Amino acid sequence: MPDFDVSGLDFSIAAIYIVIVVAIGLWVSRSQKDSSSFLGGSGAIWPVIGISMMSANLSGTSFVGLAGAGYDHGISVWNYEWTATLVLIFFSLFVLPFYLRSKVNTMPEFLEKRYDWRARKVFAAFSVFTAIVIDSAGALFAGSLTLKLLFPDVPMWTLIAVIAFLGGSYVIFGGLKAVMVTDTIQGVLLIVIGTIIFFMTYAQIGSWEGVRAAAPEGGFTIAPPVDDEFFPWPGIFTGAIWLSFYYWTTNQAVVQKVLSAKNIDHGRWGLLLAAAMQLPFLFILVLPGVMGRDIFPDIQESDQIWPALVFELLPQGLRGLALAALVAALMSTVDSVLNASAHLVVNDFIKPRKKKLSDARMLMISRVLVGVFMVLAAVWAPLIGTFGGIVVYFQSFLGYVTMPVVVVFLGGLFWTRPPRHVAFWTLSIGIPIGLACFTAIEVFNVVDLQFLYGVGLMLLLNLGIYVTITLRSDPPDMDSADLTWSRETWREDRKALSEKPKWQSHHLWSGVLVVITLAMVVWLI
């Protein structure tokens, strides 16, 4: 193991970077004069949308976790990334037009338009809970574990507090615009540092055959056996795809960025950029972990492999940028989740009941909520350690409890028959059942079931609830033209594209991206 001592130069570079990012976020805040622009707004262009979505996804846990999974299990963890590419393409083609056409500010608000106010409230409460307890607190806890390697003498609660403060300070003043601007800067840094680490690690290995040889036995494939404990290949279809649908098409922290698009074209190109950026994660994050097995065969914890490569291969100065990239990954998740949580509470709980509140008062409430959520996440994060290994179950937790959300959104978007009350009952029945199954299977091990198979079972169960209630109820009396997909929607889209040059066709580039993705998948089976 390398010495994880941070030199004065490295620390200075990381500190300067952090100061610059926070200063930019605060500078952006000078234009925030009302809660609407603070929490959402419009006018975002496609590069900012795409990179900031990627940054929000690439949390500190992902940044070191993908490399750690590559070290332990090989490249099968990349299944989560290429399936995300296909889901984002699907989002851009079939889902985004209805989100923007409905003029909603939050995902729960869309549920109210398609279903009823009860579905909105249930999903809003669920989203705030998972955002604070799972996304934000989980990122803070896992990030503090990584930073503990670099600063072993600093108490964990101090590291958590620093990360929370850095990720929340400029959000309190700058809102979503500050989040998107800073996330874009941080996303570029993440890609640059990840690319440098890949090439320097590859130079140590020397050949592609060496990369394959470094993988664990049977680990250089994205299609492990059906009984694989980490990622059996059927799990791609029973779990990974549906988790991607939840995260990329219904999660407020991610979707709010595309809702702020200048227009539908910027939204679509932003989604396609985010889709394209999932593919290189194989090289800049997963494969360095695989190759790290050859450099550090006896590492104590697999999640230490990425920091180990940084301190082994990078010279002073670049190590500081790598440290800044790690902090950037943590901040990108925390800032997005904090803003999204405040957005949900204001738009889905406060505004409907307090319609006469002034913009100035609503802006103050929004900022206070960001601060409150920042403190709650920081307070809860250290407690995660008291649950032992439960932090590793976070992804499976979401898999068990989010399938009602996936069924409700996709069902409402692509089927006009479901009545308004079906969403409330599917969420109200499905989420508690999912929580109970997660507790029984993942916590108490009542049944030995790989969680990706469990996700598939939860999907079928909730689909059964949704379809049963739908078929036993009268069709809804509503104009669903702006809320559900139809062939006419597709024809209108094709007609609009016929008036543009071929190179401006999002259909063309979506097809190109699908071909590239499937070619990589076939190559790695």
Residue 343 in tokens: 């957005």
Q: State pLDDT tens for residues 394-433.
A: 667 888 999 999 999 999 999 989 999 999 999 999 999 9
Q: How far apart are CA 327 and CA 259, in angstroms?
A: 26
The predicted model gives 54-72 an average pLDDT of: 79
Tell me which range, 77-81, 99-103, 394-398, 492-496, is most confidently predicted by mean pLDDT: 77-81
Q: State pLDDT tens for residues 243-283.
A: 999 999 999 888 988 988 888 899 999 999 999 999 999 99
Amino acid at 294: D
Kindly tell me if the per-residue pLDDT of 93 is higher than 60. yes
Q: How far apart are CA 486 and CA 494, in angstroms?
A: 13
Q: What is the pLDDT of residue 434?
A: 95
Kindly tell me if the per-residue pLDDT of 390 is higher than 50. no
Q: What is the pLDDT of residue 25?
A: 73
Q: State pLDDT tens for residues 231-245.
A: 999 999 999 999 999
Q: How far apart are CA 147 and CA 154, in angstroms?
A: 9
Residue 387 in tokens: 């649950």
Q: What is the pLDDT of residue 248?
A: 94
The predicted model gives 122-127 an average pLDDT of: 94
Closest CA to 176 of 255, 233, 238: 255
Residue 358 in tokens: 């002034």
Kindly tell me if the per-residue pLDDT of 181 is higher than 50. yes
Calculate the average pLDDT of the chain: 85
Q: How far apart are CA 455 and CA 380, in angstroms?
A: 26
Q: What is the pLDDT of residue 458?
A: 96
Q: How many residues does the chain have?
A: 525
Q: State pLDDT tens for residues 161-177.
A: 888 887 777 667 666 66
Q: What is the pLDDT of residue 479?
A: 67
Kindly tell me if the per-residue pLDDT of 50 is higher than 80. yes
Q: What is the pLDDT of residue 71?
A: 93
Q: What is the pLDDT of residue 42?
A: 67
Q: What is the pLDDT of residue 114?
A: 92
Tell me which range, 102-111, 326-335, 383-392, is most confidently predicted by mean pLDDT: 102-111
Give yes or no for a contact between 218 and 224, defined as CB atoms under 8 angstroms apart.
Answer: yes
| First CA to last CA distance, the chain | 32
Residue 52 burial (C-beta neighbours within 10 Å; 0-12, 13-18, 19+): buried
Q: How confident is the model at residue 327 (pLDDT cuts 50, 70, 90)?
A: confident
- Cα-Cα-Cα-Cα torsion 172, 175, 176, 177, nearest 10 degrees, comes to -120
Give yes or no for a contact between 31 and 164, defined as CB atoms under 8 angstroms apart.
Answer: no
- Cα-Cα-Cα-Cα torsion 441, 330, 70, 235, nearest 10 degrees, comes to 40
Residue 350 burial (C-beta neighbours within 10 Å; 0-12, 13-18, 19+): middle
Q: How far apart are CA 515 and CA 510, in angstroms?
A: 9
Distances (CA, A) of 400 to 38, 62, 238, 449, 452: 33, 20, 12, 12, 9
The predicted model gives 466-483 an average pLDDT of: 84
Give the DSSP per-residue string, 51-70.
HHHHHHHS-HHHHHHHHHHH
Kindly tell me if the per-residue pLDDT of 222 is higher than 90. yes
Q: How far apart are CA 457 and CA 52, in angstroms?
A: 33
Kindly tell me if the per-residue pLDDT of 332 is higher than 80. no
Q: How far apart are CA 294 and CA 176, in angstroms?
A: 42
Give yes or no for a contact between 345 and 74, defined as CB atoms under 8 angstroms apart.
Answer: no
Q: How far apart are CA 525 and CA 510, in angstroms?
A: 23
In degrees rounded to 5, what are phi and psi of residue 218?
Answer: 70, 15
Alpha helix segments (H runs only) across 131-235: 137-150, 156-205, 208-214, 235
Q: What is the pLDDT of residue 420?
A: 93
Q: How far apart are CA 217 and CA 46, in angstroms?
A: 41
Q: How far apart are CA 334 and CA 325, in angstroms?
A: 14
Q: How far apart are CA 243 and CA 306, in angstroms?
A: 25
Q: What is the pLDDT of residue 244?
A: 94
Q: How confident is the model at residue 26 (pLDDT cuts 50, 70, 90)?
A: confident
Half-sphere exposure of 197 (CA within 13 A, CB side): 36
Give the chain's domains with CATH numbers: 8-524 (1.20.1730.10)
Residues 17, 23, 27, 32, CA torsion sign: positive
Cα 208 versus chain centre, distance: 30
Q: How far apart are CA 227 and CA 218, in angstroms?
A: 13
